[in-house]
């Protein structure tokens, strides 16, 4: 299985990060999700899921920052178009990102249960998009937590693929 995310000069395009124009943000958050290309999903896949996170946030926040999680994408999904998180162009159940954890005080579901783009405060960060091919559909509802995904997907992961993109400071 393979996954890729387009970049501009090796960086995530500005409109998907803190450098997005004001009309591409919501409440100060970049919310237009980037496009993703998916290839070679293994036979027997019932659904796809993914996590987009930032380990480089640990020195700043004390934990890995989760920017976007989703599960139960159709197994035949070959791409996520730009802004799939907000547009609903691809069927998926979106979980809570780190904005929902009480750390930021944010309660707006448009922010907490959708894509919120990179906003690295202390230099460029490496962001990881990890895709999972699962042999089942998970019993999750909007706003599920990442730890629930890990527990529910245990024993059901057929393959994974990841792409790392750099978000500029």
Exposure string of 148-157, with b = 16+ CB inside 10 Å and e = fewer, is bbeebbeebe
- Domain ranges, residue 107: 2-167
Q: Which of 114, 126, 133, 117 is nearest to 50 (CA)?
A: 133
Q: With bands split at pLDDT 50, 70 and 90, how would you rate the model's confidence at 122?
A: confident
Are the CB atoms for 53 and 66 separated by under 8 Å?
Answer: yes
pLDDT tens digit sequence for 67-88: 999 999 999 999 999 999 999 9
Q: Number of structural domains, the chain?
A: 1
- pTM, to two decimals: 0.95
CATH number of the domain enclosing 47: 3.90.280.10
Checking if the pLDDT of 102 tops 80, the result is: no
pLDDT digits (tens, 9 = 90+) for 28-61: 999 999 999 999 999 999 999 999 999 999 988 8
């Amino acid at each position: 299985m393979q996954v890729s995310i387009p970049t501009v000069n090796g960086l995530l395009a500005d409109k998907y990060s803190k450098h997005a124009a004001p009309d591409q943000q919501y409440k100060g958050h970049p919310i237009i999700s980037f496009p993703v290309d998916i290839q070679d999903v293994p036979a027997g896949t019932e659904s796809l899921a993914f996590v987009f996170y930032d380990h480089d946030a640990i020195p700043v926040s004390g934990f890995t920052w989760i920017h976007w999680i989703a599960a139960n994408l159709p197994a035949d999904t070959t791409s996520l178009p730009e802004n799939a998180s907000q547009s609903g162009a691809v069927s998926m159940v979106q979980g809570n990102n780190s904005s929902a954890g009480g750390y930021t005080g944010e309660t707006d579901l448009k922010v907490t249960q959708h894509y919120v783009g990179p906003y690295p405060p202390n230099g460029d960060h490496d962001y990881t998009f990890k895709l999972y091919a699962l042999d089942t559909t998970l019993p999750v509802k909007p706003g599920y937590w990442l730890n629930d995904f890990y527990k529910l997907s245990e024993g059901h992961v057929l393959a994974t693929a990841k792409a790392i993109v750099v978000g500029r400071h």
